[in-house]
A and B are shown apart, each in its own frame.
Chain A
Amino acid sequence: MNEELPNPDTTHLDYGERSSVVEIHAAVQREKREPLSGFQPVSMIAIVTAGLILVLGGTYLGAYNGGFDLKKSYAVANYTAAPRPVIPGFEVKVDNRPWIDRWTEAGKEVYATCAACHQPNGNGLVGQFPPLAGSEWVVNGSERLGAIMFPGILGAINVKGQVYNGVMPAQGALLSDKQLAQVLTYIRRSWGNNGSIVTEEMVKVARDKYGSRVQPWSEAELMAIPGDAMLPGAEVDPLTGLAPGASPASTPAGS
């Protein structure tokens, strides 16, 4: 604090500044000392007021916290959601059909890949491509059907008493588990077929089992798989797509 003041080196003086100590600006001179803190105690009224504010805020928090539920976005009693507004041109279509209808409809879209050979009506082409409608390979056990999807078939195969000699290309690399499940369900339940539902979970089992196989199947190899073997997987309710008896609150993904 006892440094020499102000700097006597006049070359560093700012504009308008004079080197005399006396010339310190009046505003600085007349100033009162830097502020201090007084030590008045906090009055009772202040404490009571603060308490009232805390009670007020706390009451509000208690009344509208919605139970601190992370999934509840309303906190008032007797809440009813407003009906969905109808805006012309922006109607939201809600698909209320059973799950199985939506599932096979998606399967039908995937079937476009197959329809080139097996035909849209599932009858194939006589002597060239085997039919799917009424085919024992399709409607019986789902494991054989699932197995065929992965490396495909090469060579003669007997379908509905007729021998077809050709190539069934592998599908596993092109289609996802879900798409395969949808298309397999579609062919097992169309054109008079009445097979069981194939789920994504079941296709995943088939992919784990046969997905690494490179060599296409021959008929003899396929016959080694029991004709009524089913791919393991939980059964689903055709109405909801969920396990039978499960709450239909949410529809499974991809339905």
Chain B
Amino acid sequence: MTTDTLPAGDDVHLRARIDRSLRFPLLFFFTSAAGWLCLSSLLGFVSALSLNVPEWFDRLPALHYGRLYPVHVNALIYGWAMQAGFGVSLWLMARLSRNVLRNPVTLVVAGHVWNLVVSVGLLSILLGWGTSMPWLDFHRGISPVLVISYVSIVIWIVGMFASRAEKSAFVSQLYILASVFWFPWIYVTANGFIHQDDGAAVMKAAVNSWYISNMIYMVLAPVALAASYYIVPKVTGRPVFSYALANIGFWSLVLFTGWTGMSRYMGGPLPAWLPTVGGAASIFLLIPALAVVYNQVKTMEGKLAWANYSPALRFAFFGSIAFLVGVALNAIVSTFPIGRTLQLTQAQGGIDLVAVYGFFTMTMFGAIYFIVPRIVGCEWPNGPMIRFHFWFSAYGIGAIAAFMIFAGLAQGHVIANYTEEFITAVERGKPYLAALAIGWFLIGLSNLSFVAQLALMVIRRGRRDDEGPTLIHKKPEDYFTHELVTEKAAQA
């Protein structure tokens, strides 16, 4: 590689220049994403209350569950997830392409437009103008602006790749490019199918479910995988275990994801093979998931305990495991024998959250913990707060996913039985869904600590001493000794 031939000092300078050039856009995306994340956690809490005690919210249609829940989900996806993804993708692409971001005026403008679009979209749902198509709830007039601002943002990512100094592509770059090209395709296709006036209504629902699945596994997941493929070798200081396995993981994900999704309506008035193909593709997704996790575990082999100390590594490793769990649960629920009772219940939402929150969001946290100290020039203020953030998030998302799946199990047989009334199914799920309020409360608390730390970093009130990186636990005397001694020796 090019960098190997350069003197070490130049490499450090290049990295510093790249980081500095990205500082403003990245902090913009990370802070706005974190803001939406806090809002979404709050709305998750309030919407769970709204489902359980609707009488509290009687007089305010905007706070009814039917509007709050979509606002919560869309804020999580378009407010937090996409923007955190922009920031992380930009940084990874710049670092891996050895490219400095020059005069990113349109990037920042498009970022503002994106935030505006998301705000207007969420407002349109609150006012009752939403489309009530899950994950595509924004008023239909908003979608063109959203696509345009997306393209004006990611064109910078593609541009940096196109003019890369490092000619060989690392697997993270492939993932980011796939994600960047996938989103406009599925967004335009889904909106086109759903909002044209003719066409079978059933197919619109099916296309909607295809969109959700592709958003999870081909727009969000690749960004998180790119980040963990970067973080794991970077923190452990090892090359990725197997290039061949990484390639298999990437191409099988690309190959199978486009077929997934329609299994969410199995047994519906669709041609029977559509949901079945979706189910089979969901099973096939186990191949990329296993390939990724195996590759990362082998990369970390012998250094697995580092996840106790490095925040980036711990969040990323948790994310990869959650990816495997999410894919496995999705494969199970997508097949007919089990899906026939679990479909259309809260369980599918819980399994989606395992992927969106347990996997994607946690990996993004790891990436942000890794990136921000580099771009602002100080260390995270407080290690125990990172620990708090990790555990509350992990327990929060674990509880939410588990209770949504239990609620699905309780509801499934009622929904599948045509002689039962729908409200019975809702009542069956309620005791479990009450726990969602607790889960989102835990997550909300953890995200407050994250935002507080991020705010301190943005105003440069981070730690500035010679203690090295902020770790989750104080390192034992003998742990990083080797690493730190060599580093200190190099610096001296």
Contact = CB atoms under 8 A, between A and B. Distances in A.
B388 to A, nearest CB: 22
B242 A74 contact: no
A37 B171 contact: yes
Interface stretch (A65-73, A192-200, A238-246): A65-73
Interface size class of B (residues with CB under 8 A): 35 or more
A64 B336 contact: yes
B325 to A, nearest CB: 16
Contacts of B235: 32
A94 interface: no
B238 to A, nearest CB: 8
A60 B272 contact: no
Contact of B17 (A5, A36, A70, A73): A5
Interface stretch (A48-56, A117-125, A131-139, A178-186): A48-56
Interface string A22-62: 00111111111111111111100010011001101110110
B3 A6 contact: no
B15 A28 contact: yes
B129 interface: no
Nearest to B283: A57
A134 B267 CA distance: 57
Given A27-B374, A46-B291, A41 B280 contact: no
A175 B4 CA distance: 86
B181 interface: no
A54 B284 contact: yes
Contact of B12 (A14, A29, A39, A46): A29
A245 to B, nearest CB: 30
B271 A70 contact: yes
A6 B16 contact: yes
Contacts, number: 176
A90 interface: no
A29 B290 CA distance: 34
A75 interface: yes
A59 to B, nearest CB: 9
B3 A74 contact: no
Nearest to A16: B460
B11 A33 contact: yes
A35 B241 CA distance: 11
Interface centre among B237, B273, B298, B491 (most CB of A within 10 A): B273
A74 B272 contact: yes
Interface in B8-28: 10-17, 19-20, 23
B176 to A, nearest CB: 14
Contact of A65 (B19, B166, B276): B276
B248 interface: yes
B245 A46 contact: yes
A35 to B, nearest CB: 4
A255 B206 CA distance: 32
A215 interface: no
B290 A49 contact: yes
A82 B420 CA distance: 13
B281 interface: yes
Contacts of B3: 33-34
Interface in A132-183: none
A74 B15 CA distance: 58
B445 interface: no
A9 to B, nearest CB: 13
Contacts of A85: 418-419
Contacts of A76: 336
A219 interface: no
Nearest to A17: B377
A25 B377 contact: yes
B477 interface: no
B450 interface: no
Contacts of A57: 279-281, 283-284
B469 A73 contact: no
A68 B273 contact: yes
Contacts of B269: 73
A60 B280 contact: yes
B102 to A, nearest CB: 13
A64 B282 CA distance: 14
B318 interface: no
B272 A25 contact: no
Interface centre among A5, A69, A71 (most CB of B within 10 A): A5
A21 interface: yes
Given A5-B17, A66-B273, A46 B294 contact: yes
B272 A28 contact: no
Contacts of B171: 37
B162 interface: no
B464 to A, nearest CB: 9
B229 interface: yes
Contacts of A37: 170-171, 239-240, 242-243, 246
6 contacts: A28-B374, A31-B374, A33-B11, A35-B234, A36-B233, A37-B239
Given A32-B235, A35-B233, A57-B283, 20 more contacts: A6-B16, A16-B460, A25-B373, A28-B19, A31-B234, A34-B166, A35-B239, A38-B241, A39-B242, A40-B245, A53-B290, A60-B280, A61-B277, A64-B279, A65-B277, A70-B271, A71-B271, A74-B272, A75-B272, A75-B276
